[in-house]
Chain A
Amino acid sequence: SQQGEEDPQALSIQEGENATMNCSYKTSINNLQWYRQNSGRGLVHLILIRSNEREKHSGRLRVTLDTSKKSSSLLITASRAADTASYFCATDAEGNEKLTFGTGTRLTIIP
């Protein structure tokens, strides 16, 4: 069952602006990951943040995790047209390889 919800469901911004997407989950987690999916394609792993971490960076990506609020955010800075895609958060519980995906945010970067 889906335990993650993301907002907004859809986001359109101008190229160069920053994009922020949020993810909320319901149960305790071991890790939270963000994935990108281009239309009709598979998922690409972006970043993993562990439950004992609060913030992580990778290039233009910044992920935060607040376990007390059971939420995470993904910030993409200086957006590019190629960032247009759907973004999903996914969580896994301690000792469990299974991922539970959020509902996703469809991001459109307007050139």
Chain B
Amino acid sequence: GAVVSQHPSRVICKSGTSVKIECRSLDFQATTMFWYRQFPKKSLMLMATSNEGSKATYEQGVEKDKFLINHASLTLSTLTVTSAHPEDSSFYICSATRTSGSQTQYFGPGTRLLVL
């Protein structure tokens, strides 16, 4: 158990458009989901923490109006990159925890975004 999926796996878009990435926990309810960004050959940088039914908590330096996060249900969180620019090109990974306070995060396979 503890499978997390992301859709799409890859997306190419034009500058100025918005892109939505979905993160789903397939076989468990995720009280908390996390969104990370990873540059090539670099580590994961936490962007925001998302709790079902409440507003996401963004890390310092992450624009909440740029990266819209919605956690509408216990199995789905979405990240929308609004008015995408080439510098938003990156690998976006989500993770989920089974219960509040759990230390183990289960990661999705990631979404590679390329903004032209």
Report which A residues bind B (CB closer than 8 A): 2, 4, 30-31, 33, 35, 40-45, 48, 88, 92, 97-104, 106
The answer to whether A40 touches B91, judged by C-beta atoms less than 8 angstroms apart, is yes
Q: Which of A2, A45, A48 has a CB less than 8 Å from the CB of B43?
A: A2
Interchain residue pairs with CB less than 8 A apart (23)? A2-B45, A4-B43, A31-B103, A35-B107, A41-B109, A41-B110, A42-B4, A42-B109, A42-B110, A43-B44, A43-B107, A45-B106, A48-B103, A48-B104, A88-B44, A97-B32, A97-B49, A98-B49, A99-B46, A101-B44, A103-B42, A103-B43, A106-B41
Q: Which of B4, B34, B43, B97 has a CB less than 8 Å from the CB of A102?
A: B43
B43 to chain A, nearest CB (A): 5
List B contacts of A44 (CB < 8 A): 107
The answer to whether A97 touches B102, judged by C-beta atoms less than 8 angstroms apart, is yes
The answer to whether A43 touches B43, judged by C-beta atoms less than 8 angstroms apart, is no
Interface size on B, residues (CB 8 A): 27
Q: Please name the residue on chain A nearest to B60 by beta carbon.
A: A1
Report which B residues bind A (CB closer than 8 A): 4, 6, 32, 34, 41-46, 49, 91, 93, 95, 97, 100-110, 112
Bound together, the chains give a CA A45 to CA B111 distance in angstroms of 19
The answer to whether A30 touches B103, judged by C-beta atoms less than 8 angstroms apart, is yes
Summed over the interface, the residue pairs from A and B with CB atoms below 8 Å come to a total of 57
Q: Which of B6, B97, B107, B112 has a CB less than 8 Å from the CB of A40?
A: B112
- Given the known inter-chain contacts A42-B93, A42-B108, please indicate yes or no for A104 contacting B103, CB distance below 8 A: no
A100 to chain B, nearest CB (A): 8
Q: Which of A33, A40, A88 has a CB less than 8 Å from the CB of B110?
A: A40
List A contacts of B110 (CB < 8 A): 40-42
- Given the known inter-chain contacts A40-B112, A88-B44, A106-B41, please indicate yes or no for A97 contacting B107, CB distance below 8 A: no
Bound together, the chains give a CA A109 to CA B82 distance in angstroms of 40
